[in-house]
Amino acid sequence: MPARPRFAAFTDGSALVNPGGPGGTGFVVLDRGTMAIRFGGTRWVDDGPAGVTNNRMELRSVLDALQGIPGGEAVELTSDSRYVIDALTKWIAGWRRKGWRTSTGGPVLNRDLIEEIDARQAELRVRYSWVRGHVGHPVNEICDALASSAARRQPGPAAGDVVAALRAQGLLGASDAPHVAAAGWGPPRPAAAAPGRSQLSLDL
């Protein structure tokens, strides 16, 4: 893993009632290689038999962030969820050995999303970092705003807000002018919210 990976990803999730929802995901990804950003938030009012929970929204935001990143690329993904970091870096090996059972013998919650993320990260080189939430980390605050605004079905941060947060975090210089990329990191497209999959989606 290079000290400065090509992709820097930030994620957050929110459930207005936990469990029960509605909930939202928020993510920001910076591609240093092409000087591009991708960000968005998706509202969830239902998430299958498990329902909407804060942990499921946290995991889904990781899936959103990793979507479209080319195979083999290095990604540093920052989350304020200890559950996400520990599940994907510490607990998963033991869960597999025990047939996806916890230390008390019960089934592992959110196995579907954890396995989906694990399959995706197997195609990449992912390093996870934890940041404490709500302590003024600029990009984490933007992800929180994206997730909570999606959950509330309200407009969220725009491209200019994301760029300002990345600059405040020292990830962009004053003269850097990243374009907003499509999900597959293709050609530039206008920095405007677009309707997307299922519920309110601001994926750009």
The contacts of residue 199 (CB under 8 Å, 6+ apart) are 42, 43, 44, 45
Q: Of 31, 47, 76, 80, which one is the catalytic site residue?
A: 80
Catalytic residue list contains 161: no
Contact 175, 181 (CB under 8 A): no
Catalytic residue list contains 13: yes
Catalytic residue list contains 31: no
Catalytic residue list contains 203: no
Q: Of 106, 134, 160, 170, which one is the catalytic site residue?
A: 134
Cis peptide before 19 (omega within 30 of 0): yes
Pairing of strands 179-180, 36-44: parallel
Catalytic residue list contains 106: no
The contacts of residue 179 (CB under 8 Å, 6+ apart) are 35, 36, 37, 188, 189, 191
Q: Of 26, 144, 156, 203, which one is the catalytic site residue?
A: 144
Strand partners, 26: 12, 41
Catalytic residue list contains 176: no
Q: Of 58, 76, 141, 203, which one is the catalytic site residue?
A: 58
Type of residue found at 171: L
Catalytic residues, by residue number, are 12-13, 58, 80, 134, 144
